[in-house]
């Protein structure tokens, strides 16, 4: 079982995000009409804010707000519509919860307004490849930045899931994203990485990434993993299960990720997954390295 290095990630306003002593739970709030995980039941600002408050009560350490579906094949949403969806939710949550809020976007303008509204982390699925100007926004706000791996847009990514060694190639491409971010002024200590399970990856690739998570430690940055309810789980449990019925399968992937050294797991069902994370962390405490 790999060692999980400890990090302190600075956030705006002098806040610090301590990572490594235990795995943190990031609750996902999709403010979209076509969310793959919940069918769009939180496509309403008031309901989304209430959902975020409930997640914190259930043990979420962070919240991640997204206004554009990025599932494979999804169409893009323009920045004005995305802003309309997410800003009221961020503003509402900023007055009701004390945990850090992340904005899940690759658009510089959306990130700019979200950070002004109360977000302190930008979660970019493209690793700064879609809108490189996003890096300057993050740097100017002294925000934290999650760099995720993908290839191509959601509409294209399925065709780009070709690797000789998925972990080596994903790690190299994340290294490039880190270099670009720091070159644009983002402090390295504010960067986290996400290997992008399910993004430009066949199910076999996603399973291999989870199995070899410890190999991403060489990048020297905290590791965020998001296996929740994703379609790669269906390879093991059956394609007939809807995303909302994949929570037991998600629990297995979450436990495996924590045991392999993940610092943050990104999930939809916070209450049950918090229990999974706590048990996995307790197992880690008793592991003896050879």
Is 2 inside a domain boundary? no
| Active-site pick, 42, 229, 230, 284 | 230
For residues 67 and 41, the answer to whether their CB atoms sit within 8 Å is no
For residues 250 and 228, the answer to whether their CB atoms sit within 8 Å is yes
What mean pLDDT is predicted for residues 122-126? 98
Its pTM stands at 0.95
Is 71 inside a domain boundary? yes
Is 290 inside a domain boundary? no
Largest CA distance in the chain: 54
Is 207 inside a domain boundary? yes
Number of domains in the chain: 1
CATH number at residue 51: 3.20.20.20
Is 37 inside a domain boundary? yes
N-to-C CA span, the chain:
10
For residue 69, the model assigns a pLDDT of 84
Q: What is the mean pLDDT of the chain?
A: 94
Per DSSP, the residues of 98-141 read -S-EEEE---HHHHHHHHHHT--EEEETTTTSS-TTHHHHHHHH
Task: Return d(Cα 202, Cα 200) in angstroms, integer.
Answer: 7
Catalytic residue flag (residue 42)? no
Catalytic residue flag (residue 266)? yes
Is 289 inside a domain boundary? no
Q: Which residues pair with 116 in a beta bridge?
A: none
- What are the pLDDT digits (tens) for 252-283? 999 999 999 999 999 999 999 999 999 999 99
Query: Tokens 């904005």 — which residue?
Result: 103
Residue 39 pLDDT class (50, 70, 90 cuts): very low
| Active-site pick, 4, 129, 171, 266 | 266
Percent of the chain clearing pLDDT 70 (strictly above): 96
Is 1 inside a domain boundary? no
Domain enclosing residue 45, as ranges: 7-284
């Amino acid at each position: 079982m790999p060692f999980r290095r400890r990090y302190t990630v600075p956030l705006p306003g002098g806040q610090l995000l301590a990572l490594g002593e235990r795995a943190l739970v990031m609750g996902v709030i999709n403010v979209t009409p076509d969310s793959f995980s919940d069918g769009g039941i939180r496509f309403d600002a008031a309901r989304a804010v209430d959902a975020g408050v409930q997640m914190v009560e259930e043990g979420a350490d962070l919240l991640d707000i997204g206004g554009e579906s990025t599932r494979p094949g999804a169409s893009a949403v323009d920045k004005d519509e995305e802003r309309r969806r997410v800003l009221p939710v961020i503003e509402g949550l900023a007055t009701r919860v004390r945990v850090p809020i992340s904005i899940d976007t690759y658009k510089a303008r959306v990130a700019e307004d979200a950070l002004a509204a109360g977000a302190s982390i930008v979660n970019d699925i493209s690793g700064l490849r879609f809108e490189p100007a996003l890096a300057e926004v993050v740097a100017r706000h002294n925000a934290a930045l999650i760099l995720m791996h993908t290839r191509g847009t959601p509409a294209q990514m399925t065709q780009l899931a070709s690797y000789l060694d998925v972990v080596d190639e994903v790690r190299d491409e994340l290294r490039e994203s880190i270099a670009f971010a720091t070159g644009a002024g983002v402090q390295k200590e504010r960067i986290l990485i996400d290997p992008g399970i399910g993004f430009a990856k066949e199910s076999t690739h996603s399973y291999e990434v989870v199995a070899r998570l410890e190999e991403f430690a060489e990048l020297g940055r905290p590791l965020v993993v998001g296996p929740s309810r994703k379609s790669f789980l269906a390879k093991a449990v059956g394609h007939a299960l809807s995303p909302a019925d994949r929570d037991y399968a998600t629990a297995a992937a979450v436990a495996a990720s924590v045991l392999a050294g993940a610092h943050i797991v990104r999930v939809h069902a916070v209450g049950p997954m918090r229990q999974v994370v706590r048990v996995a962390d307790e197992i880690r405490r008793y592991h003896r390295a050879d």
